[in-house]
Amino acid sequence: MARILVVDDEVGIRELLSEILADEGHQVLLAESAGEARRLRERSRPDLVLLDIWMPDTDGISLLKEWAASGQLGMPVIMMSGHGTIETAVEATRIGALDYLEKPIALQRLLATVKRALRNREAATPRDLSLATLGRSPALAETRKRLAQFAQAAAPLLLRGERGMRPELFARLLAAAGAPFVEGPELLTEASSEMLARAAGGILFVGDLSRLGRGEQKGLEFLLARADKHKARVVSFSPLDARALTEKHEFDAELVACLSELVLKLPALRDFAEDVPDLAALMLLQLVESRACPPRRLSVAALNALRHHFWPGNIVELESVVKNLALGALEEDIGLEDVERVLSAHAQSSPPPEIALDRPYREAREAFERLYFEYLLARENGSMSKVAERSGLERTHLYRKLKALGLPVGRREES
């Protein structure tokens, strides 16, 4: 049937619930404290948790908050208490608990609640990746503060940054809890009042503007003109500035001006390297929680190696590396050797894209230079000294060239 974790510091309650649930054909795991519950939850990934509120080490509400904040609330949780209040029950359900049982627990009430929880467990899937709990680095902490400030406004916001940054993760920080967040290709191809109604009170997010065709730009104009009426906010992303969008991608200048009423530059992943270990751990946890891979843990040495990588592909590249580690590691603990193996394979797995030769000489030369320096930056892990040596350019000239091409400047200080 199902694997059920019962967490209660009273041995009598644990034994009674274990006997009842076992008679129903369930596999029952027992924990007498929050610490033991954490270990069993990580090792066994139960289908359902019955969690007592009052425990000596950590109370059930705090443990529930911990699981919710770390993305581990991938299973239904039923709270239990003999001294509960309406306020406690409301708080528990707000955090993410499915239901609340008051002790002494009636047999039929217990069985009915458990049955309903297991029937609805498909809906209790791990949450999407979130940046809400990150911010060790000054760059990400400042970006989150600015997003919190911009969240108070209603004007369209343009996020600027490098490709591969998963800008929707930053845009989601603007949405209030429970507010709609609408994105996807149908957003522009099927732009309509119905789409706006879906986003009422929330966010309409448009990804890479530089990839939009004329038809999609027209759809964006439709949404932008009517968003305010539906109290929906348009947030977009572009790796290019306004001038490049109008000159190279035939955007209407007025449309770009409306989209960029507010602008925020997103830091590249290497700029908030202190958060890479936590971000990688969250990505790995998602894979484990969704049962895409067996239980896995990143060792301290592995996390340090990930932190010091240059990440030319930003968050998208980190996700790909973590997925490779999760599925390819031979042991539960992912070590330094695993990270070095995967990073080495990634560096060699993607040949440079071909340069279209039917474009004007100046554009072709610029495209070649961009590919050339992107390759050197990735190969030398962002070391400006090594890139200068490989390219034969003086450091000051190299900085100017990278800036002109819109490429990131690597590490100025060598380790």
The per-residue pLDDT for range 211-229, each reduced to its tens digit, is 898 889 999 999 999 999 9
Q: Which residue has tokens 């033991």?
A: 36
* CA–CA dist 11, 347 (Å, integer): 55
Answer yes or no: is pLDDT of 265 > 80. Answer: yes
Among 99, 123, 147, which residue terminates a domain?
123
Q: What is d(CA 380, CA 390) in angstroms, rounded to the nearest whole number? A: 9
CATH of the domain at 260: 3.40.50.300
Altogether, the residues listed in the chain come to a count of 415
Task: Say if residue 147 is in the same domain as residue 258.
Answer: yes
End-to-end CA, the chain: 55
pLDDT of residue 307: 94
- For residues 49 and 94, membership in a common domain is answered with yes
Tell me whether residue 133 is in a domain. no
Looking at the fold, whether 104 and 59 belong to one and the same domain comes out as yes
Residue 130 lies in a domain: no
Q: Cα separation of 61 and 88, whole Å?
A: 8
Confidence of residue 91 (pLDDT cuts 50, 70, 90): confident
Per-residue confidence (pLDDT) for residue 84, from 0 to 100: 66
32 pLDDT exceeds 90? yes
Does residue 329 belong to any structural domain of this protein? yes
Residue 185 is assigned to a structural domain of this protein? yes
Domain that holds residue 392: 361-405
Supply the mean pLDDT for the chain: 88
What's the rounded mean pLDDT across residues 394-409? 82
Structure confidence at residue 77 as a pLDDT band (50, 70, 90): very high
Q: Assign residue 25 the CATH number of its domain.
A: 3.40.50.2300
Bridge partners (DSSP) listed for residue 334: 298
Same domain, 12 and 93: yes
The arithmetic mean of pLDDT across residues 283-290, rounded, is: 87
385 and 299 together in one domain? no
Where does a domain end: 218, 241, 265? 265
> Is the whole model's pTM more than 0.85, yes or no?
no
- 136: which 2 tokens? 């060790």
Q: What is the pLDDT of residues 339-389, one digit of tens each?
A: 999 998 877 555 555 666 766 787 788 878 888 887 788 777 778 888 898
What residues form DSSP beta bridges with 28?
A: 4
The stretch 308-319 carries a mean pLDDT of 92
- Report how far residue 108's alpha carbon sits from residue 203's, in angstroms, rounded to the nearest whole number: 43
- Answer yes or no: do 200 and 242 share one domain: yes
Place of tokens 């000294």: 385
Higher local confidence (pLDDT), 123 or 186: 186
Higher pLDDT, 174 or 58: 174
Q: Domain check: are 144 and 242 in the same one?
A: yes
Whether 329 and 375 share a structural domain: no
Q: Are residues 57 and 143 in the same domain?
A: no
Q: Report the CATH number that the domain containing residue 304 is assigned in CATH.
A: 1.10.8.60
pLDDT of residue 342: 94
Co-location of 154 and 95 in the same domain: no
Residue 129 lies in a domain: no
- pLDDT confidence of residue 206: 95
Query: Domain boundary residue among 77, 96, 123?
Result: 123
Kindly write down the DSSP assignment for every residue of 154-186, as one continuous string: -S-EEEE--TTS-HHHHHGGGSPTT--EE-STH
The predicted pLDDT at position 69 comes to 76
- Name the band, by pLDDT with cuts 50, 70 and 90, for residue 410: low
Residues 166 and 251 in one domain: yes
Residues 246 and 292 in one domain: no
pLDDT of residue 14: 94
Q: Which two tokens stand for residue 370?
A: 């961009």
Q: What is the pLDDT of residues 382-393, one digit of tens each?
A: 788 888 988 999
Place of tokens 């458990």: 114
Which ranges of 202-335 would DSSP assign to H, the alpha helix?
Answer: 214-226, 242-248, 253-259, 276-289, 300-308, 314-328
What share of the chain has pLDDT > 70, as a percent?
Answer: 94
Q: Per-residue confidence at 415, pLDDT binned at 50, 70, 90?
A: very low
Total domains in the chain come to 4
